[in-house]
Amino acid sequence: MYKKESVMDWVNELPRLILGAFGSVGFGIIYNINKKYLPAIWLGGFIAWLAYVVSLRVMTSMFMQALVSGFIVAIYAEIMARSYKAPSTIFFVASAIPLVPGKPLYECMNAIAEKNMSFALSKGIETVLFAIGIAGGMGIAWCICDSIRKIKRAGREKN
């Protein structure tokens, strides 16, 4: 019973996943990214939102959801950068776009407009925390990737 429901949930989530990924491609075009990377950007946007949707079901803390999603996108960007031999920023920046907390920011603004200050405050904190979470997640990923690179280089120099 539970399983069937969750399968339906996933089917309902699919159009959003695909759309969010196209949003990433749109930003890829705005940032003038080389056309041959656009499929990778699409997949990156897809993975970003997928990571968020999965973490939404596994974790309760919003900060941790952001952290894990940011981490996964950053790892994806690093892998793509290695395989295409291009700067990883290119892949990261556009892929992470669906994670940008535009919705809580809007809700915060709307609450201010409706003079619902406590709701505005909680949404504002949510926006900031989410942004910090993504930044933290990608920071952890970069640290790990950088260390791996240095360890590999040290190993190569020894041989």
Partner 1 sequence: MDTDKFLNTLIKMAESMQNCGSEVYRTEDTLRRIGRAYRSEEIDVFVIISNIILTLKMRGEEAKTRSRRLDGSSGNDFAKLERLNALSRSVCAHPIDPEEFDKAIEEINNTPKSDAVFIAGSMLASGSFAVFYGGSVIDGIISALIGILIYNMQKHLSPVCLNKFAFQLCASLIAGFCAFIAIKLIPGTHIDKIMIGDIMLLVPGVMFTNAVRDMLLGDTLSGILRLIEALLLAAMMTMGFLVSLLLAGHV
Binding-site ranges for partner 1 (CB under 8 A):
16, 19-20, 22-23, 25-34, 86-87, 89-90, 92-93, 96-98, 100, 102-103, 105-106, 108-110, 112-114, 131, 134-135, 138-139, 142-143
Q: How far is the CB of 35 from partner 1 (least distance, A)?
A: 9
Q: For residues 65 and 73, what is the distance between their CA atoms, to the nearest angstrom? A: 12
CB atoms closer than 10 angstroms to residue 115: 8
Q: Which is nearer to partner 1, 54 or 93 (CB)?
A: 93
Q: How far is the CB of 153 from partner 1 (least distance, A)?
A: 15
Amino acid letter, 90: I
Q: For residues 134 and 63, what is the distance between their CA atoms, to the nearest angstrom? A: 8
Rounded to 5, what percent of the chain is helix, strand, coil? Answer: 90, 0, 10
Q: Which is nearer to partner 1, 25 or 68 (CB)?
A: 25
Are 71 and 93 spatial neighbours (Cβ–Cβ below 8 Å)? no
Q: How far is the CB of 15 from partner 1 (least distance, A)?
A: 9
Q: For residues 124 and 131, what is the distance between their CA atoms, to the nearest angstrom? A: 11
Q: How far is the CB of 27 from partner 1 (least distance, A)?
A: 5
Q: Which is nearer to partner 1, 129 or 135 (CB)?
A: 135
